[in-house]
Amino acid sequence: MTESIPASPGIEGGAGSNPPVAAPNVGAMGAVSGSPFTSRAEAAQAVKSADLLLVIALFLIMIGGYHVHFMLTAGDWDFWIDWKDRRFWPTVLPIMLITFVAAAQYFFWENFRLPFGATFVCLALLVGEWIDRYVSFWGWTFFPITLCWPTSIIPMALYIDIVLLLSKSFIVTAIVGSMGFSLLMYSNNWVILAPFHQASEQYGNLMSLADIIGFHYVRTSMPEYIRIIERGTMRTFGKDVVGVSSFFSGFVSIIVYFVWWYVGKMFSTVKYMAKI
């Protein structure tokens, strides 16, 4: 007797596009010569185990790849409490974060119809971030964890995944999702950040508690003049610059999302495997 096992959604053809694959001729009493499995249930279990290993491997790859990308492009704004300012922090981070989010959403949605690509990669990034904080910042240099916590990004990832799930359109996700992804960052982290914005006078200078911490904890990072952001020109557009920064970041994130959506499309293929 010949049985058929529905194939998993394939990468090349989209969700559920692969034709059914003929299973080995397996009888109730044992395996046919040449088959490594003794039953259909055993074959299905092997497929599940292989899928689980692939998901774990992909998660570890995202921890490394996304983490390195983020550290090189926006690391300092995420490291230090005094760098979490109201201008460059809500501007730079969402633009750098939306890259892997867009590529991951293409991979999971177009190939498997799974609406959690953004949450998957953001969770991987946070795992890498917390390992880095405890090993590098606290373990090696005794820098207090409470002063170098990573930015909370899971609510932003959940939002853009929900937009994709409800709209089923990458164009709507790029416009509505990317804009909301950027706007949510500052408000999402405000509860953690607010205590460090208490005003304090030090030697005749008015500064925030976060700035005092930055001056007292000496560290190697990007040049400090970049951190003096309150003299920037963005104040020209309004007194409270958080909104301006967030909306500007949202508009740029829309463009970046389109670009990285196609980056995800370009790499979501198995044609490169033929050369290995």
**pLDDT over threshold 50, residue 205:** yes
- Mean pLDDT computed over 213-242: 58
pTM of the model: 0.77
Token digits of residue 162: 């929900």
pLDDT at 27: 46
What is the per-residue pLDDT for 227? 54
The predicted-structure confidence for 121-154, as pLDDT tens digits, reads as follows 999 999 999 999 899 888 888 888 888 889 999 9
- The per-residue pLDDT for range 235-269, each reduced to its tens digit, is 444 457 788 888 999 999 999 999 999 999 988 87
Comparing 34-48, 194-208, 217-231, the range with the smallest average pLDDT is 217-231
Work out the pLDDT band at 40, boundaries 50, 70, 90.
confident
Check residue 114 and report its DSSP letter: -
In order of 99, 144, 148, the CA distances from 133 in angstroms are: 23, 9, 7
**Token match 């990573």: residue?**
150
Question: What confidence score (pLDDT) does residue 268 get?
Answer: 82
Tens digits of per-residue pLDDT, 56-81? 999 999 888 888 888 888 877 888 78
| CA distances for 241 relative to 98, 125, 187, 234, angstroms | 21, 28, 13, 7
DSSP state of 115: S
Crossing angle, helix 89-112 and helix 178-193, to 10 degrees? 130
Sign of the CA dihedral with 228 first, then 229, 232, and 235 last: negative
Rounded to 5°, angle at Cα 188 from 184 and 194: 130
Indicate whether 228 pLDDT > 50: yes
Sign of CA dihedral 84, 89, 94, 97: negative
What's the pLDDT score for residue 254? 95
Please, what is the average pLDDT of the chain? Answer: 80
Torsion sign, CA atoms 271, 273, 274, 276: positive
